Structures are given as structure tokens and as C-alpha cells.
A = this chain, B = another copy of it.
């Protein structure tokens, strides 16, 4: 009886939803088409980061014809070019050589657990499957160079699984993507700002209105032009981390007191425009702060490579007021950023702390030369003794010593870390000076939400639940991949894998006329 009732109830609900959707669709209104197009393309890609360049090149290689990448800023690469240059590759040869046991399922589990189950399972599964082939494509086709034999571990991952670009930055990928794009005939047009997406009365996206020769910060600059997308438009415009007003609509805590790691062009205009033309915007209020940034430099900076790469794996993070650790330094970014923010709000600054052994075993191998730069820029500071560290940051010395003793004791037993942090292979007890420190101050880093897409990268219409004809998306502009919390080294994978999927499917669209 209960079962029967339930079925009736559910089927009534399903029918209503269906009817509703078809009812709304007929009332839909769309944009007027321009009297004529100024330029004609087959596939237009908005955004020149990892995802946009991957989408455009894949579209070109799949026979899309005339492909162009539009970038509003005066240089290419968006946030990707200032990204840390790490990428999750489960099952890499490097992992195997180091005897690290990993699997696609384990990566998917990590992503979904830390993403609080907000991830779309089919997207996670598709992405993890494509990670290794995409890495091989990067190396063999695009010519990207990675640090030989090194594998790192970001917070929230169960095992070390990310590779490092040799130049220690996402620019090591973007620069090669740009060379490749040039080689295969995909132009990147800089200072070309997309002011409107044209969705015609038949529901298809057919082009964009741009300001060509746009100067960032001058809204009326550039020449207005209409560009036709004969096959498809691909949205790879990234996040809105630098847009204080817009991000506060979704998370009012993220006021202008929070800096951002993002480049200044990470603003909201195309998020608004995507919503206006009928895209479904999902999970937009999950905006991640990077927990490892330093208040002693602007933007993303370079201190994080110490705080994360050395201190979080072979050192500790310390609350200067108490001399104690306050979080699992390998917890996910949200958990750590929240913990640091709470301490900062109480007037208790936090530092990342590591000794000479720790930096020698980590960043001095994976990011050669970075430590000198960090010291030179005074974002990482060097002290001969622990006493000097305590004096500088006003840390109770006895408590700090107890904290280090406890960490060393647990490390020696390989069990019982007081914060539940897994022990990093080859980690040595802390104690050999000199010591290194950076201050911690979370900055707005990544938008987990975005347009809803299906497994082909097609963008879903809010009214009909069907793909919007001629519209694709990938990367930070999409939602549902990372769920509530993006794990470090998973954005590069997301952008490249899903950029290629979107580009390949965009190329297959039939042309309208």
C-alpha cells in the first residue's frame, strides 16, 4: 500500500515537471539577429586558458574549419597562465616507478568525498578516465615538459598523484598550447571582449557581439562587431573570483577584505550573459579560497609553493597565538581556508613552518630556484633557530617545541598524527635549522559552480532541460565537476579533458545557414 502510494505520487510529480517544461518552452524569447555579420567563423571559443585553447585546437583538428579564440585581456592564458602547473594523473609512469598505488576509482572517490557529493558522478568518471591519455597528449602532441619522476600530493588526495611542469607554472602548458594553436592555424584574438551572446528565435546560439580592440576597464572601448559562429560557440571564460560585487551575491562573506589569486579579468560579465540567454547556472555559491596564500604579496604569488609544497607535507602549520597546529595540513582547501580565516578573525595569525630537510626533500627538487625567489621577495623568511622563529611571530616557544616533538614522535611511529594527516614518504623529523616560515592568508581562488553541461560539453537550457543548440562549455565556467570543493591539481585536468571534449563535439555540429 505504501509502495503503491509512493509510485503514484512520484509519477504525478514527474509528469508535472515534464508538462511544465514543455509549457514554458513555447513562451521563450530570444535575441534579435544582427542585420549582418562582420566576420564569419565555424567555431568561436571564448577564453584563452587551458580549456579554451584545448577546445579550439581539438575543434580545428576534428575538422571544424575556421576556428578562433577570443580573449578580452591584452595577453592570453587567463588564470591558467598563473596556475601552479600541476595536474592529477592517476596511473602515470612516475607513480608506478615510485610504487604509489592509485586508481581511477580512488581519484573519483577523493573528488566526490571532498566535493561533499555535489559532483556529477558521470563527469568525475569521464574525467578520471581521460586524465592519463590527456597527459600523454600534452607530452607527445603539445610538447609540454614535466619534471621527470616527481609526483606530488595536494590536500584532499589519498595519495601523491600530480605531475609538475618543469617551469613550475601553468604557463609551461599554456605557452605550448599557444605554439600549437599557431601551428595548426587557430588564431587567438586579444582585446576582443564578448558583450553579448546571440541566441536566435529558433533557440540556437549563432554568434557573438564583441568589442574588438577592447581595453580592460574601459567599457565603451573597442569597435562593435558581430561574429558569426556557423557551427558552435564554446564558453571557456573561467571564473569570477576577482569580481567582489558578484561573488558577494553568492557568498556575502567574501567582501573586498579578501584578496584574490585570480588575474583581474576574472569578472562576471559572461556568467551573467550565460544566465540571460537561458543557461542553467548550478552550484554558484561554492567559491573556494586558497588556504596557502601569503598576505605579504599580491594575488596568487609564490609563497604558496612553500606553504603547500614543503610545510603542508613535511612541515607544519601553526597558530602563532597558541604555538599549536590547528588543522590537518593536507585537508581539502575549504576546510583549511575556513580554519585559517577563523584564526585570523580571532587575531591569531597562522604560519607555515618547515626546516632545511623539508625544503630539500620537496620544493628544492620540484621547483628549483623558487626558494631563493621567495626569500628575495620576503614572502618566505629564514631563521637560524626555532627561538628566532618564536621571537619573530610572538609564538610561545615551549608550546611550539611541544608541537614539534609531538609531530616527530608520531612520525617516528608512523601513526597517530594529532591532526590526522597522512605521513609523507621519506619525511624526516623536524629539527634541523635553518627554519623557513610564511604567513597564511586565504584568497579567493576558484569558482566551483557554472553552467550545467552534459557529458558532450553541451550547455543545458534552464527551461527545457535540453542542450542549447550550438553552445558548448568547459573548465571553470562550468559546474558539477568538482562539487563543493575542488582539489588541487584537478583544475588542470578538468580544463584540458573537458575542453577537448567540448571542442571535439563543437566541430561535429552541423552548420546553420
- Which residues of A pack against B, CB within 8 Å? 2, 5-6, 9-10, 12-24, 27-32, 117-121, 195-196, 209, 211, 216-220, 242-246, 249-253, 256, 259, 264-265, 267-269, 272-273, 275-276, 278, 280-286, 298, 449, 452, 462-463, 465, 480
Residue of B nearest to A242 (CB): B13
Q: Which of B13, B219, B252 contacts A18 (CB 8 A)?
A: B219
A275 CB to closest chain B CB (Å) equals 5
Could you tell me the distance between the alpha carbons of A219 and B29 in the complex, rounded to whole angstroms?
A: 20
Q: Are B217 and A298 in contact (CB under 8 A)?
A: no
Q: Are B298 and A251 in contact (CB under 8 A)?
A: no
Q: Are A23 and B219 in contact (CB under 8 A)?
A: yes
Q: Are B267 and A20 in contact (CB under 8 A)?
A: yes
Q: Are B117 and A253 in contact (CB under 8 A)?
A: yes
Q: Are A264 and B298 in contact (CB under 8 A)?
A: no
Could you tell me the distance between the alpha carbons of A342 and B471 in the complex, rounded to whole angstroms?
A: 38
Q: Are A219 and B280 in contact (CB under 8 A)?
A: no
Which residue of A2, A5, A9, A252 has the most chain B CB atoms within 10 A of its CB atom? A252
Q: Are B216 and A272 in contact (CB under 8 A)?
A: no
In the bound complex, residues from chain B placing their C-beta under 8 Å from that of A275 are 275, 278, 280-281, 462
A13-B244 contact in complex given A31-B27, A275-B275, A463-B273, C-beta closer than 8 Å: yes
Q: Are A29 and B27 in contact (CB under 8 A)?
A: no
In the bound complex, residues from chain B placing their C-beta under 8 Å from that of A253 are 117-118
Q: Which of B16, B217, B218, B286 contacts A219 (CB 8 A)?
A: B16
Could you tell me the distance between the alpha carbons of A97 and B274 in the complex, rounded to whole angstroms?
A: 55
For the A-B complex with A23-B220, A275-B462 known, give 19 more contacts whose Cβ atoms are closer than 8 Å.
A6-B259, A6-B298, A13-B264, A14-B244, A15-B217, A15-B218, A16-B217, A17-B267, A17-B268, A18-B219, A20-B219, A23-B195, A24-B195, A249-B280, A249-B452, A250-B282, A276-B463, A285-B285, A285-B286
Q: List the 5 shortest-distance A-B pairs measured between CB atoms, nearest first.
A: A19-B219, A27-B196, A20-B269, A117-B253, A29-B31
Q: Are A16 and B285 in contact (CB under 8 A)?
A: no
Q: Are B24 and A272 in contact (CB under 8 A)?
A: yes
A381 CB to closest chain B CB (Å) equals 16
Q: Are B452 and A17 in contact (CB under 8 A)?
A: no
Could you tell me the distance between the alpha carbons of A268 and B17 in the complex, rounded to whole angstroms?
A: 7
Could you tell me the distance between the alpha carbons of A298 and B22 in the complex, rounded to whole angstroms?
A: 29
In the bound complex, residues from chain B placing their C-beta under 8 Å from that of A256 are 10
In the bound complex, residues from chain B placing their C-beta under 8 Å from that of A281 are 275, 281, 284
Could you tell me the distance between the alpha carbons of A276 and B252 in the complex, rounded to whole angstroms?
A: 24
A125 CB to closest chain B CB (Å) equals 13
Q: Are A462 and B272 in contact (CB under 8 A)?
A: yes
In the bound complex, residues from chain B placing their C-beta under 8 Å from that of A211 are 23
A192 CB to closest chain B CB (Å) equals 14
Q: Which of B14, B23, B28, B285 contacts A283 (CB 8 A)?
A: B285
Residue of B nearest to A268 (CB): B17
Residue of B nearest to A116 (CB): B253
Could you tell me the distance between the alpha carbons of A397 and B280 in the complex, rounded to whole angstroms?
A: 51
A104 CB to closest chain B CB (Å) equals 19
A226 CB to closest chain B CB (Å) equals 11
A201 CB to closest chain B CB (Å) equals 10
In the bound complex, residues from chain B placing their C-beta under 8 Å from that of A244 are 10, 13-14
A155 CB to closest chain B CB (Å) equals 20
Residue of B nearest to A20 (CB): B269
Could you tell me the distance between the alpha carbons of A85 and B493 in the complex, rounded to whole angstroms?
A: 50
Q: Are B273 and A24 in contact (CB under 8 A)?
A: yes
Could you tell me the distance between the alpha carbons of A220 and B218 in the complex, rounded to whole angstroms?
A: 49
In the bound complex, residues from chain B placing their C-beta under 8 Å from that of A27 are 31, 195-196, 209
